[in-house]
Amino acid sequence: MNSTEGLKRLLYNRFLHFSELFEQSVEVELTEFATQARALGLDTFPNNMTSIHVIDCIGSYEPINNTSIADKMNLSKASITKFSNKLLEEGYIKRSQLNDNKKEVYFSLSSKGKHVFKVHQTVHEMIERRFISTLSSFSELELQTTLKFIQIMIDQLNAYTPSETNPEMR
């Protein structure tokens, strides 16, 4: 095996390890969120990151409709409907209609949802600072190469994985 093939196999193995760690990091993010939420006096909050990210999307763009949330989050409208119904039921979001369009439903945050939104922003900023700090040792060329690699992997996963971000595969 030549050195290029060896590097490719090493990259593949490192990628698998990275994928496993990334899955675990989602759990850590939820734990960090829960810790921050409790520290700020929130006793109830959604128990999964997708619900929290729906709250974040609504808080960032309110008032916003189902289709726009789905587009911004790369999820199906059906999924957003499921999450928004649950968030409505739990009191994190409110439903409204604009005066000039009684057919279209828009979402905004309730006061309870605004608290979750603020906690998520705090945790997200902390994770982003940590991520950016990790990249500080990279040169511009290394960053561009890394970005190219990640985009190629995203494109490949979208092409070969049946998911909500790839409607052709459903």
**124 and 154: one domain?**
no
Q: Report the 10 Å Cβ neighbour count for 166.
A: 14
Whole-number Å distance between alpha carbons of 152 and 37: 36
How far from the centroid of its chain's Cα atoms is residue 55's Cα?
11
Which token pair is 137? 């040792």
Residue-range definition of the domain harbouring residue 59: 14-137
**25 and 102: one domain?**
yes
The single residue listed with the structure tokens 């030549």 is 2
Number of domain units in the chain: 2
**130 and 143: one domain?**
no
- Counting other chains too, the contacts that 126-129 makes at CB distance below 8 Å and 24 or more residues apart are 126/32, 127/29, 127/32
Whole-number Å distance between alpha carbons of 56 and 48: 13
**45 and 65: one domain?**
yes
Measured CA to CA in angstroms, residue 70 lies from 58, 75, 81, 129, 167 at distances of 11, 5, 9, 27, 13
CB 33 within 8 A of CB 119: yes
Spell out the per-residue pLDDT of the chain, length 170, in tens: 788 888 889 988 998 898 888 888 877 878 888 888 888 888 888 888 899 999 999 999 999 999 999 999 988 999 999 999 999 999 999 999 877 777 889 999 999 999 999 999 988 898 899 889 999 999 999 999 999 999 998 888 878 766 544 444 44
Torsion of CA 6, 12, 18, 22, to 10 degrees: 170
8 within some domain: no
We report the CATH number of the domain holding residue 69 as: 1.10.10.10
**133 and 152: one domain?**
no
* pTM score: 0.74
